[in-house]
Amino acid sequence: MSDAVFEQRLNMAVESGTMAMQVINALKGDKGDTGPQGPKGDTGPAGPTGPAGPAGAQGEKGEKGDTGAQGSKGDRGETGPTGATGATGPAGADGADGVTPHIGSNKHWFIGDTDTGVLAEGTDGRDGAPGAPGAAGSPGKDGVTPNIQIGTVTTLPAGSQATASITGDVESPKLNLGIPKGADGTGSGEVSGDYLAASNPS
């Protein structure tokens, strides 16, 4: 299309508004061939999430899965309250008789025939330090001079042990004696003339 023809048609379009579409159609050429596909453009930003659709029907129950690995041990929980006291158990059987300890000849404690090596008696302790002198005693009462009197005198059989005892009180004691008699003499009992002469010198 020449420039003159284009200018003519444009003038016609300006003269009448109703002819505008005709002008555009006149300007439109034939459809060209499809060009080569251009390069893929960059991915645009994701659009906003659409509203959730209605819930679908529940599907059939699937098969049981394999047991998973054991998890780690959890923290220890708090101690629970104390339980109620249990019933009293039955009495136990009597125990065997024990062995009474005794002291051996070596002064050690023995349990049965076993020497424990423990002394049953302690060793003598050391002498203590001398004590302080005691306070002087109070003066005693004046003494009384006794008036000794002879009480009873008893003749005892020959060969007996002589006896003596004191009765009465402090001021008037009585001395009681037991004196054995002498042994019987031997001989005729006659005095000879020589003895008389010696006893009576002239």
Q: How far is Cα of residue 3 from the mean position of the Cα atoms in its chain?
A: 122
Is the pTM of the predicted complex or chain greater than 0.85?
no
- pLDDT computed for residue 23 by the predictor: 57
Q: Cβ distance 90 to 76 under 8 Å?
A: no
- pLDDT computed for residue 177 by the predictor: 93
In a domain, 81, yes or no: no
In a domain, 124, yes or no: no
For residue 153, what pLDDT band results from cuts at 50, 70 and 90?
very high
Location of structure tokens 């998973």: 68
Give the residue with greater pLDDT, 75 vs 23.
75
In a domain, 176, yes or no: yes
In a domain, 159, yes or no: yes
pLDDT at 73 over 80: yes
In a domain, 13, yes or no: no
Angle, helix 20-27 to helix 3-15, in steps of 10 degrees: 160
Domain range for 170: 149-180
In a domain, 157, yes or no: yes
Distance CA 99, CA 141 (A): 63
Give the residue with greater pLDDT, 83 vs 188.
83
For residue 154, what pLDDT band results from cuts at 50, 70 and 90?
very high
In a domain, 30, yes or no: no
User: Exposed e or buried b for every residue in 12-32, given b needs 16+ CB within 10 A?
Assistant: ebeeeeeeeeebeebeeeeee
The total domain count for the chain is 1
In a domain, 169, yes or no: yes
